[in-house]
Structure 1
Amino acid sequence: MSAEWTRRKGRLGKKMAALRERVPGKLTQAVVAKRLKISEPTISRLEAGKSRPPWPTIASLLMAYQASPEDEAEVSRLWEAARQKPITIEHGKGLSPSYLAFRRDEFDADGEKAFNVGAITGLLQTPGYADALRSAAPTNIQGDEQAQRAADERRSRQQLLEGDNPLHLHVIMGEALLRQLVGGREVMIEQLEHLLTTGQRDHVTIQVVPFERGAWATSPAVLLYFPDDEPPMAYLEHAGGGETVEESHDVQGLADTFDYVAEHTALPEDASADLIGSVLNELRMDEQQPN
């Protein structure tokens, strides 16, 4: 049995901990373990989201917690959902724990919405664009081996957009990302061509906020949506790494913000493609100009 945390085991553990704490009196993990003659680590690992005990153990706990039929039904659903095995990030060596956790959650997701503020999302980056970003932050990559590992990780992540059941991606980015010469004109020409090509896929939506629309977002954020009625979650990126947000109120606030920007601030998908194409044509013309 894997002792590694997963989102779904975490939801099961959180529910079981809430049921235990709801019992009148102070029902500690130690008291429960002694009363049911099971090990205390079994309970602690369960509540920490690091294990999925056999159903008879769960059933005994539910009885001890005086769970209602509605709670039993919910726990049963969570227990079944927690059957998944954690995926392995093939090229994850050297990556932060918060990013690895995000990648595992992203692997489970069937939909993603992303605010792109400082850079185009890695899901849509060309190799040249990604290399230029890493060159601008040399402290993040040390040596050819790590550079190659980062490139392999990007390609692996981009496979989420391929196959018979691809990730549905909706990205909102500012016009500045189209015009900033990351890596130079040739690199940006290739990057913008890639955005136009990828944006034609049915499961990819790209919207652009033009300069004249003013302020629209303050920091990069990703919303992940899951199948089987799993609640969505968010991932906030910052200079020190990233932070997972799972509180429903906070996630809903980010989702409402994204939907508002998509509907009222960003250009529609077709108009966004026209703007990307316009910037691309400007870059091509500049490239043809004699020095």
Structure 2
Amino acid sequence: MGNRVSTVLARQLGGQLLAFREAAGMNQSRAAEALSSQTAKVAKMERGWVPFRDPDIVALCKLYGVEEEDVVTGLLRLAKLDRERRRAKGWWSVLSPGNLREYIAMEDAALKVRIWQLSLIPGLFQTADYIRAMAVPDLSADGIAQIEQVVDVRRRRQARLYGDDPLQVHAVIWEAALRQLVGGAQAMSQQLTHLRAVAELPNVHLQVLPFRAGGYPGIGGPFNILSFADEGAVDVVHMDGLRSTTWVEGREESAAYANLFGRLCGVSLSPYDSIQLIESIGKEMRP
């Protein structure tokens, strides 16, 4: 019974299969025949209510005429990660169940992430000292252990920025996040030095929205857009609040956030000018 829940990953996978079925002009009954199953199973799959079997994904892709190997491989990767998440077998299973574990599981499966951040350096770019400074002060043994767990989780997430198949990241950061002295001037100076180095990675596209831009779209709050397949696939938007997390999964809704992100990019500095501003602010913080 524990697997009979709808997860974000499964809904993402089910939504892509639904889009392929509709593009092929087929109904759920035809899909069920290909699986030698009932229509109800296809309905549950498309709504993300059940874990996906690899043979079912391959059979449906063949039926729908989806022949691109990288697309099928991407779907199989999502299914595998969803099964691991349900059994809590990913590296992120060390975290307590909740929104953070859900997001990290999603990020671990994503091919690309677009980030809009107002007041903090994005987690993928944070140094260990910055992370520790952001933690609520707690000098007890348990408190220190929890902080170091957060540092370790960030480090594991950041590993996806490197390697043969790195995560593609496009981040827009408001200038305020660069000037906030998290951990003091020295720690923040080191953070900006690291941010500049990360911005040089070929898979990272970093822009800064400067104060002089004036009024700007996206002032309502930060968000991340996670992409799992080629252009045209439905993205998932993640927003963290003080006491809750919001997932936006519909095609029209996610497209609206993608449009908003594009507008933010349009009023932000170029990557080159962004690096120049980061260097300038960093110099102001050095003794």
Task: Give, as a single letter, the amino acid of the residue that structure 2 aligns with 1:266.
Answer: S
Alpha-carbon spacing, 1:12–1:211, altered in 2? closer, same or farther (3 Å): closer
Contact 1:89 1:103 in 2 (8 A): no
SS of the counterpart of 1:191? helix
Contact 1:11 1:49 in 2 (8 A): no
2:251 is aligned with 1:236: no
Contact 1:196 1:277 in 2 (8 A): yes
Shift of 1:8: 5.5
Alpha-carbon spacing, 1:72–1:212, altered in 2? closer, same or farther (3 Å): same
Give the alignment of 1:207-246 within 5 angstroms.
207-216=207-216, 217-218=218-219, 219-228=221-230, 230-246=233-249
Task: Give, as a single letter, the amino acid of the residue that structure 1 aligns with 2:270.
Answer: P
How many pairs does the alignment contain? 257
Whole-Å separation in 1 of the counterparts to 2:143 and 2:247: 29
Whole-Å separation in 2 of the counterparts to 1:187 and 1:8: 36
Structure 1 length-normalised TM? 0.74
Structure 2 length-normalised TM? 0.74
Give the alignment of 1:1-291 within 5 angstroms.
3=3, 7=8, 9-11=10-12, 13=14, 46=45, 47-52=47-52, 73=64, 81-82=75-76, 84-86=79-81, 87=84, 88-135=89-136, 143-216=143-216, 217-218=218-219, 219-228=221-230, 230-263=233-266, 265-284=267-286, 287=287
SS of the counterpart of 2:52? coil
Task: Give, as a single letter, the amino acid of the residue that structure 2 aligns with 1:214.
Answer: G
Structure 1 unaligned spans of 5+: 63-69
Contact 2:10 2:49 in 1 (8 A): yes
Say which is worse superposed, 164-173 or 88-97, in terms of deviation: 88-97
1:107-137 superposed Cα distances (whole Å, 9 cap, x missing partner): 121211100112111100001111111136x
Shift of 1:95: 4.0
Indicate the RMSD between aligned Cα atoms, in angstroms. 3.7
1:203-260 superposed Cα distances (whole Å, 9 cap, x missing partner): 1111111111123322110011223554221111211242221111111111111111
Contact 1:236 1:243 in 2 (8 A): yes
Whole-Å separation in 1 of the counterparts to 2:8 and 2:37: 28
Say which is worse superposed, 205-214 or 44-53, in terms of deviation: 44-53
Q: Choose 1 or 2 for highest CA Rg.
A: 1
Contact 2:115 2:171 in 1 (8 A): yes
Contact 1:12 1:82 in 2 (8 A): no
Shift of 1:143: 1.6
Alpha-carbon spacing, 1:149–1:237, altered in 2? closer, same or farther (3 Å): same
Contact 1:109 1:226 in 2 (8 A): yes
SS of the counterpart of 1:113? strand
Say which is worse superposed, 154-163 or 82-91, in terms of deviation: 82-91
Shift of 1:270: 0.8
Whole-Å separation in 2 of the counterparts to 1:107 and 1:53: 20
Alpha-carbon spacing, 1:155–1:53, altered in 2? closer, same or farther (3 Å): closer
Alpha-carbon spacing, 1:96–1:171, altered in 2? closer, same or farther (3 Å): farther
1:241-285 superposed Cα distances (whole Å, 9 cap, x missing partner): 42221111111111111111112x11111111111111111111x
Alpha-carbon spacing, 1:196–1:98, altered in 2? closer, same or farther (3 Å): same
SS of the counterpart of 1:212? helix
Alpha-carbon spacing, 1:96–1:271, altered in 2? closer, same or farther (3 Å): farther
Aligned residues with identical type, % of pairs: 25
Contact 1:192 1:280 in 2 (8 A): yes
Contact 2:12 2:249 in 1 (8 A): no
